[in-house]
């Protein structure tokens, strides 16, 4: 296991965005997985559409479920990653559509093109990550899907049409907390590799009874150093992170299976039913049985 983890760490890279010459933004389709599926950040904004599969979305200190059709806008310097589970041997062609751009590209012209001032609020809110409503995502995705066949002014007009839809979405949800960006300090390339190794280790093992010491050992750090490092880079403690992953699994099992709640408690990595019920209620505002009924009613 440790040999595989170190191999992952060696391939983790910081994403350097290269916008093509004679273009003001980058549009592309991404397969999954690929070399840049890592916990990364960059100065460019990123508009990210999930076309296929479900999994876990990491944006700043936010961890949540993603499904096909999810559309998010991630601000400058905000770490992010979308992970489809399980990862072993799975290949998903063109899972994502990604648009990356420098917001200053649109801020400058707004001094002359007054209509572009509407983008200011959208970009300000995106500093913490925005997940758009299902309706806005559907409307925007139709345009995003067709942008690959466009070029020049036609492609720019299409992107502005997407922005127009998103600026009107009053139901867009802010993801990361405000204190995360205040506290976050980008690490060195070694720290980024260590963090990516740690996140990968936890994704692979969160259903097991792993401890803080196990995660620290996986990246070659002491428990105290790893605890401080993990909180600084993700905004969550080790315990909070593990709980989020386990609650996510419990919600999937409650929605997708008829397994008894007692069984789901242990399948999701919890050690006893009373703790599971307490944590689930605190996290979701519902008891497991009520969540199952609600999730199936609206699915």
Query: What is the pLDDT, as a whole number, of residue 234?
Result: 85
For residue range 200-237, what is the model confidence (pLDDT) as tens digits? 899 889 999 999 999 999 999 999 999 999 988 888 89
Domains in the chain with CATH codes:
2-178 (2.60.120), 185-297 (1.10.10.60)
pTM: 0.78
Among the listed ranges 10-14, 118-122, 131-135, which one has the minimum average pLDDT value? 10-14
Among the listed ranges 73-82, 96-105, 188-197, 212-221, which one has the minimum average pLDDT value? 188-197
For residue range 154-203, what is the model confidence (pLDDT) as tens digits? 999 999 999 999 999 999 999 998 777 666 666 666 777 788 889 889 98
Confidence tier at 68 by pLDDT (50, 70, 90):
very high
Q: What percent of the chain lies above the pLDDT cut of 70? A: 89
Query: What is the pLDDT, as a whole number, of residue 130?
Result: 97
For residue range 108-131, what is the model confidence (pLDDT) as tens digits? 776 777 888 889 999 999 999 999
Query: What is the pLDDT, as a whole number, of residue 232?
Result: 84
CA distances to 16, 66, 76, 147, 201 from 42, rounded to whole Å, are 7, 21, 6, 23, 24
The burial of 224, by beta-carbon neighbours within 10 Å (0-12 exposed, 13-18 middle, 19 or more buried), is given as exposed
Among the listed ranges 37-46, 142-151, 222-231, which one has the minimum average pLDDT value? 37-46
Among the listed ranges 12-16, 137-141, 226-230, which one has the minimum average pLDDT value? 12-16
With left for phi above 0 and alpha for psi between -120 and 50, is residue 65 left, alpha or beta?
beta
The burial of 234, by beta-carbon neighbours within 10 Å (0-12 exposed, 13-18 middle, 19 or more buried), is given as buried
Query: What is the pLDDT, as a whole number, of residue 2?
Result: 33
Query: What is the pLDDT, as a whole number, of residue 46?
Result: 97
Q: What percent of the chain lies above the pLDDT cut of 90? A: 60
Confidence tier at 12 by pLDDT (50, 70, 90):
very low
CA distances to 27, 45, 98, 134, 259 from 94, rounded to whole Å, are 12, 20, 10, 20, 33
Query: What is the pLDDT, as a whole number, of residue 5?
Result: 32
Confidence tier at 299 by pLDDT (50, 70, 90):
low
For residue range 252-274, what is the model confidence (pLDDT) as tens digits? 899 999 999 999 999 999 999 99
Query: What is the pLDDT, as a whole number, of residue 109?
Result: 75
Query: What is the pLDDT, as a whole number, of residue 192?
Result: 72
Q: How far apart are alpha carbons 225 and 223 in whole angstroms? A: 6
Confidence tier at 98 by pLDDT (50, 70, 90):
very high
């Amino acid at each position: 296991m440790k040999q595989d983890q170190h191999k992952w760490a060696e391939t983790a890279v910081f994403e350097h965005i290269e916008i093509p010459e004679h273009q003001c933004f980058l549009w592309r389709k991404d397969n999954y997985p690929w070399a840049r599926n890592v916990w990364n950040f960059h100065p460019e904004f990123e508009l990210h559409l999930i076309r296929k599969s479900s999994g876990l979305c990491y944006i700043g200190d936010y961890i949540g479920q993603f499904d096909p059709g999810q559309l998010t806008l991630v601000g400058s310097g905000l770490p992010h990653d979308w992970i489809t589970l399980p990862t072993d041997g799975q290949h998903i062609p063109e899972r994502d559509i990604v648009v990356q751009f420098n917001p200053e590209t649109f801020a400058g012209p707004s001094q002359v093109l007054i209509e572009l001032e509407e983008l200011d609020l959208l970009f300000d809110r995106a500093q913490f990550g925005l997940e758009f409503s299902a309706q806005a995502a559907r409307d925007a995705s139709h345009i995003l899907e067709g942008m690959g066949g466009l070029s020049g002014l036609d492609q720019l007009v299409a992107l502005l049409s997407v922005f127009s839809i998103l600026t009107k979405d009053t139901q867009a949800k802010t993801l990361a907390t405000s204190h995360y960006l205040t506290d976050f300090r980008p690490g060195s390339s070694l720290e980024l590799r260590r963090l990516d190794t740690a996140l990968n280790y936890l994704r692979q093992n969160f259903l097991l009874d792993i401890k803080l010491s196990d995660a620290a050992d996986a990246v070659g750090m002491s428990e105290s150093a790893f605890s401080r490092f993990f909180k600084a880079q993700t905004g969550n403690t080790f315990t909070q992170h593990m709980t989020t992953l386990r609650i996510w699994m419990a919600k999937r099992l409650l929605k997708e299976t008829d397994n008894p709640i007692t069984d789901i408690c242990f399948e999701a990595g919890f050690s006893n039913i009373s703790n599971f019920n307490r944590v689930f209620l605190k996290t979701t505002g519902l008891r497991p049985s009520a969540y199952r009924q609600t999730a199936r009613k609206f699915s």
